[in-house]
Amino acid sequence: MPAGDAISRVVGFQKYRVDEVWKHRGWVVLFLKRKRPGYRCPGCGQQYLFYHDRRDRYLRDLSLGRFKSLLVVPQHRIDCDRCGRQRERLPFAREGARSTKRFEEWLFRLTRDMTVKAVVKLLVCAWRMVKDAEVRYIRGLLRKRDLSGIRRIGIDEVSERSGHRYLTSAWPHFLMA
């Protein structure tokens, strides 16, 4: 089994294979390539053999051992007969994100117990990436919840220590009765 296939299985991108690997200063860059030809319109699902154009997307992913990892993934635009020109979706990344879904989930888990600043320092990434991942993940969790019974939210701030460090908590109105 070629090394690229082994890495693809470990990393978990079944429809892609690792075409090339670069290592540089604590980073590993994985260049992914589709395993099979054929492009599906994200709007209607129509299958096409050709694409209009492509661009490479750079996505931060979970570290591989001691190396921080970056994926370079080709993303194609298709000229669909029904929907017009559409950019294909990558199954492992949200639209507009600069990281994979699993990396965003990892960032969110870390921000439960650490400050955003500490996560940025630990993972050597941009503050905005951590904050955006946290917001997207929370929105995803809220979409799954039924919030129809909530009419008001109570917010309380208490001082953690003397000075200006505060803890903020919020409760739905029906819990405050």
Instruction: State the average pLDDT over residues 49-77.
Output: 91
Per-residue pLDDT at 8 exceeds 80? no
pLDDT tens-digit series, residues 95-143: 888 899 889 889 888 988 888 899 999 988 899 989 888 888 888 888 8
Q: Tell me which of 66-75, 85-94, 121-130, 163-172 is least confident.
A: 163-172
Q: Average pLDDT in the 88-101 region?
A: 88
CA distance 163 to 174: 32
Domain ranges of the chain: 1-93, 94-145, 152-177
> In this structure, are residues 27 and 69 in contact, taking their beta carbons and an 8 Å threshold?
yes
Burial class (CB in 10 A: 0-12, 13-18, 19+), 119: buried
**Pairing of β 47-48 and β 39-40:** antiparallel
Tokens found for residue 65: 């051992």
Residue 136 confidence (pLDDT): 82
* pLDDT at residue 167 in the model: 60
What is the pTM assigned to this prediction?
0.72
User: What is the average pLDDT across 31-49?
Assistant: 88
Per residue in 152-177, pLDDT tens?
A: 877 666 666 666 666 655 554 444 44
